[in-house]
Structure 1
Amino acid sequence: YALLIVDSASALYRTDYSGRGELSARQMHLARFLRMLLRLADEFGVAVVITNQVVAQVDGAAMFAADPKKPIGGNIIAHASTT
Protein backbone atom coordinates (compact mmCIF):
# COMPACT_ATOMS: atom_id res chain seq x y z
CA TYR A 1 0.00 0.00 0.00
CA ALA A 2 1.11 3.57 -0.55
CA LEU A 3 -1.29 5.46 1.72
CA LEU A 4 -2.61 4.88 5.24
CA ILE A 5 -5.39 7.18 6.47
CA VAL A 6 -6.28 7.42 10.16
CA ASP A 7 -9.56 9.27 10.55
CA SER A 8 -9.72 11.15 13.84
CA ALA A 9 -6.69 9.82 15.67
CA SER A 10 -7.79 11.22 19.01
CA ALA A 11 -11.46 10.11 18.92
CA LEU A 12 -10.87 6.76 20.64
CA TYR A 13 -8.67 8.35 23.27
CA ARG A 14 -11.37 10.85 24.19
CA THR A 15 -13.81 8.03 25.01
CA ASP A 16 -11.36 5.60 26.64
CA TYR A 17 -9.60 8.19 28.80
CA SER A 18 -11.82 10.73 30.49
CA GLY A 19 -10.80 13.46 32.87
CA ARG A 20 -7.52 15.07 33.82
CA GLY A 21 -6.59 12.14 36.06
CA GLU A 22 -5.96 9.98 33.00
CA LEU A 23 -4.30 12.69 30.91
CA SER A 24 -0.77 11.32 31.33
CA ALA A 25 -1.77 7.76 30.41
CA ARG A 26 -3.74 9.00 27.40
CA GLN A 27 -0.87 11.11 26.09
CA MET A 28 1.65 8.28 26.53
CA HIS A 29 -0.59 5.82 24.67
CA LEU A 30 -1.25 8.34 21.90
CA ALA A 31 2.50 8.97 21.58
CA ARG A 32 3.15 5.21 21.23
CA PHE A 33 0.46 4.98 18.53
CA LEU A 34 1.99 7.89 16.60
CA ARG A 35 5.51 6.41 16.88
CA MET A 36 4.16 3.15 15.46
CA LEU A 37 2.69 5.04 12.50
CA LEU A 38 6.02 6.81 11.92
CA ARG A 39 7.85 3.46 11.93
CA LEU A 40 5.38 2.03 9.40
CA ALA A 41 5.86 5.07 7.19
CA ASP A 42 9.65 4.82 7.38
CA GLU A 43 9.92 1.05 7.01
CA PHE A 44 7.43 0.56 4.19
CA GLY A 45 7.52 3.97 2.51
CA VAL A 46 3.84 4.52 3.21
CA ALA A 47 2.36 8.01 3.39
CA VAL A 48 0.30 8.46 6.56
CA VAL A 49 -2.51 11.01 6.74
CA ILE A 50 -4.05 11.67 10.14
CA THR A 51 -7.16 13.72 10.79
CA ASN A 52 -7.86 15.15 14.20
CA GLN A 53 -10.69 16.70 16.16
CA VAL A 54 -10.74 20.27 17.44
CA VAL A 55 -12.53 21.94 20.34
CA ALA A 56 -13.47 25.52 21.01
CA GLN A 57 -10.97 27.34 23.19
CA VAL A 58 -13.10 28.95 25.89
CA ASP A 59 -10.46 30.43 28.17
CA GLY A 60 -9.52 34.11 28.31
CA ALA A 61 -6.87 33.73 25.59
CA ALA A 62 -9.52 32.74 23.04
CA MET A 63 -10.59 36.34 22.50
CA PHE A 64 -7.07 37.27 21.36
CA ALA A 65 -6.47 34.24 19.15
CA ALA A 66 -7.07 34.46 15.41
CA ASP A 67 -8.68 31.01 15.52
CA PRO A 68 -10.60 30.09 18.69
CA LYS A 69 -10.27 26.34 18.01
CA LYS A 70 -7.51 24.09 19.32
CA PRO A 71 -6.65 20.50 18.37
CA ILE A 72 -7.35 17.56 20.66
CA GLY A 73 -4.26 15.65 21.76
CA GLY A 74 -2.07 18.58 22.70
CA ASN A 75 1.53 18.86 21.62
CA ILE A 76 1.91 15.11 21.10
CA ILE A 77 0.21 15.23 17.71
CA ALA A 78 1.93 18.48 16.73
CA HIS A 79 5.37 17.03 17.48
CA ALA A 80 4.66 13.81 15.60
CA SER A 81 3.72 15.67 12.43
CA THR A 82 6.44 15.91 9.82
CA THR A 83 4.60 18.03 7.28
Structure 2
Amino acid sequence: MSDVKERIVGAVTVMSETDANTLWKLIIDNFSEWENIKEIVPDETDVKMLQEIEADTDCHTFMSSDTAMKELGL
Protein backbone atom coordinates (compact mmCIF):
# COMPACT_ATOMS: atom_id res chain seq x y z
CA MET A 1 0.00 0.00 0.00
CA SER A 2 1.32 3.45 -0.84
CA ASP A 3 2.28 5.98 1.82
CA VAL A 4 -0.65 8.24 1.02
CA LYS A 5 -3.12 5.35 1.27
CA GLU A 6 -1.65 4.35 4.63
CA ARG A 7 -2.07 7.93 5.86
CA ILE A 8 -5.68 7.94 4.69
CA VAL A 9 -6.39 4.67 6.52
CA GLY A 10 -4.74 6.08 9.65
CA ALA A 11 -6.76 9.28 9.43
CA VAL A 12 -10.04 7.45 9.00
CA THR A 13 -9.21 5.19 11.93
CA VAL A 14 -9.02 8.09 14.38
CA MET A 15 -11.59 10.50 12.98
CA SER A 16 -14.97 11.03 14.55
CA GLU A 17 -18.06 9.42 13.06
CA THR A 18 -19.19 12.86 11.87
CA ASP A 19 -15.88 13.44 10.09
CA ALA A 20 -16.00 9.94 8.61
CA ASN A 21 -19.48 10.62 7.23
CA THR A 22 -18.25 13.93 5.77
CA LEU A 23 -15.33 12.15 4.11
CA TRP A 24 -17.61 9.41 2.78
CA LYS A 25 -19.93 12.04 1.26
CA LEU A 26 -16.91 13.72 -0.35
CA ILE A 27 -15.85 10.38 -1.85
CA ILE A 28 -19.34 9.59 -3.14
CA ASP A 29 -19.76 13.10 -4.58
CA ASN A 30 -16.39 13.09 -6.36
CA PHE A 31 -15.93 9.48 -7.43
CA SER A 32 -19.12 8.39 -9.18
CA GLU A 33 -17.83 4.86 -9.81
CA TRP A 34 -17.93 4.39 -6.03
CA GLU A 35 -21.71 4.85 -5.96
CA ASN A 36 -22.25 1.12 -6.40
CA ILE A 37 -20.17 0.07 -3.40
CA LYS A 38 -22.37 -1.99 -1.16
CA GLU A 39 -21.91 -2.25 2.58
CA ILE A 40 -21.47 -5.71 3.99
CA VAL A 41 -21.63 -7.02 7.52
CA PRO A 42 -18.13 -7.90 8.76
CA ASP A 43 -17.51 -11.61 9.06
CA GLU A 44 -15.96 -13.34 12.07
CA THR A 45 -12.41 -12.76 10.79
CA ASP A 46 -13.06 -9.04 10.25
CA VAL A 47 -14.52 -8.66 13.74
CA LYS A 48 -11.54 -10.48 15.27
CA MET A 49 -9.07 -8.25 13.41
CA LEU A 50 -10.91 -5.11 14.52
CA GLN A 51 -10.90 -6.31 18.14
CA GLU A 52 -7.16 -7.00 17.94
CA ILE A 53 -6.56 -3.52 16.52
CA GLU A 54 -8.59 -1.92 19.32
CA ALA A 55 -6.61 -3.88 21.95
CA ASP A 56 -3.16 -3.13 20.46
CA THR A 57 -1.90 0.25 21.69
CA ASP A 58 0.59 0.41 18.80
CA CYS A 59 -2.40 0.69 16.47
CA HIS A 60 -3.62 3.81 18.26
CA THR A 61 -0.77 6.11 17.23
CA PHE A 62 -2.10 8.11 14.33
CA MET A 63 -2.41 11.74 13.39
CA SER A 64 -5.44 13.71 14.49
CA SER A 65 -8.36 14.10 12.12
CA ASP A 66 -7.57 17.84 11.92
CA THR A 67 -3.99 17.11 10.81
CA ALA A 68 -5.21 14.53 8.30
CA MET A 69 -7.79 16.92 6.88
CA LYS A 70 -5.07 19.60 6.48
CA GLU A 71 -2.77 17.13 4.70
CA LEU A 72 -5.63 16.13 2.41
CA GLY A 73 -6.41 19.78 1.73
CA LEU A 74 -9.92 19.53 3.15
TM-score for both structures, normalised by structure 2: 0.30
Which structure has more strand as a fraction of its residues?
A: 1
Greater relative contact order (Cα < 8 A, sep 6+): 2
- Greater fraction helix: 2
